[in-house]
Every structure is written in structure tokens, then in C-alpha cells.
Amino acid sequence: MRLKSTTLPSLLKVHQLDERDYQALIMDTQGSELLVLKGAIPVLKALPFIKTEVPDFEAYTGCC
């Protein structure tokens, strides 16, 4: 299956949103949270709070 994705900075730019208007990034992306964080590096400093899932069960063995 092919999926098209975009980074958080690109999404904010397309919709003319300022990351400083937001207080948090909350993620539950079924194991791709590290990819989201890597793509969001340019805006992370503007977000004072980041909440993400940290799976510690067998289904996610070997994930970041």
C-alpha cells in the first residue's frame, strides 16, 4: 500500500498556521512517532509540551 505523507512544518505552512499558536504536540501514530518527531524538528522548539506513546509490549518489539 502506498501512502502520501507530509511533515508537520509543511502542513503548517500549507495551511498558514504558526506553530507558536500551539501549546502541545500529542501523538498516537501506531509506532511511527519517531518519524513524526524527526519530520517536526524545525517546529519542536516552539512547542512547550510533547506527549507520545511509548509502547512496552511485545507487538512493538524492535521499534524505537
DSSP assignment of 4-23 equals ----HHHHHHHTT--GGG-S
pLDDT at 1 over 80: yes
Mean pLDDT score of the chain: 89
pLDDT at 8 over 90: yes
- Say if CB 55 and CB 33 are below 8 A apart: no
Distance CA(63)–CA(20), nearest Å, equals 30
Predicted pLDDT of residue 50: 95
Distance CA(31)–CA(49), nearest Å, equals 20
Give residue 44's pLDDT band: very low, low, confident or very high (50, 70, 90).
very high
Of 28 and 55, more confident: 28
pLDDT at 32 over 90: no
